[in-house]
Amino acid sequence: MSQSRFNALFVHQRLPLLRTLQRMVGNPSTAEDLLQETYLRVTRALGERPVTHLEPFVFQTARNLALDHLRARRAQARTLVDDVPEQVLHNVAAPLGSSEDAAHAEQLLRHLSSQLGQLSPRQQRIFVLSRVHGASYVEIAEQLKVSASTVQKELKLIMAICMGVADRLG
């Protein structure tokens, strides 16, 4: 098969080839690169031997290149994570704060705890149900047998107290 006949086939099949590659790799830019590599590989193959069924050969070459790309990407992702000790990953993901930051956080926590300790038992329960357990106003109201409006008002007051502590210590 001549190079000119292959060129005509490639131009005619360019969009279906590109769509196939894009579906496989999920990246238009990578698909374009693989399409160019397909052209080069098929051109090289035609120079080495005759190809009787050119269209299936072109599509199979493109699919093989896409699969090779995906395998390499998976291997690289595994290598990047697997080759790094777990302790190093944890330190990168969550760097340790300074001792000054820790002291500030401890002081803030002490003051918040003190202020929350002065709340009524019902207010403390509202705070815990809302902020720790993620309960809605309606769920809290049903559990404490008060209106959702009461829960909302109490929580607004509690949060104002917390914000006051944070502002004073900020």
Tens place of pLDDT per residue across the chain (170 aa): 578 888 899 999 999 999 999 999 999 999 999 999 999 999 999 988 888 898 999 999 999 999 999 988 887 776 655 555 565 555 554 555 677 777 877 888 888 888 888 889 999 899 888 888 888 889 999 999 999 999 999 988 888 888 887 777 76
Alpha carbon distance, N-terminus to C-terminus of the chain: 77
At residue 88, φ and ψ (nearest 5 deg) are: -65, -40
Closest CA to 150 of 164, 138, 159, 163: 138
The residues near 54 (Cβ < 8 Å, ≥ 6 apart) are: 1, 5, 6, 9, 42
pTM: 0.48
Predicted confidence at residue 93, as pLDDT, reads 46
Domain limits, the chain: 3-82, 99-169
Predicted confidence at residue 91, as pLDDT, reads 55
What is the C-alpha separation between 4 and 7, in angstroms, rounded? 5
Predicted confidence at residue 61, as pLDDT, reads 94
Predicted confidence at residue 4, as pLDDT, reads 82
Q: Do domains 3-82 and 99-169 have the same CATH topology?
A: no
Predicted confidence at residue 19, as pLDDT, reads 94
CATH class of 3-82: mainly alpha
Predicted confidence at residue 64, as pLDDT, reads 95
SS3 72: helix
Task: Give Cα separations from 19 to 14, 47, 61, 65, 71 (angstroms).
Answer: 9, 27, 15, 14, 20
CATH class of 99-169: mainly alpha
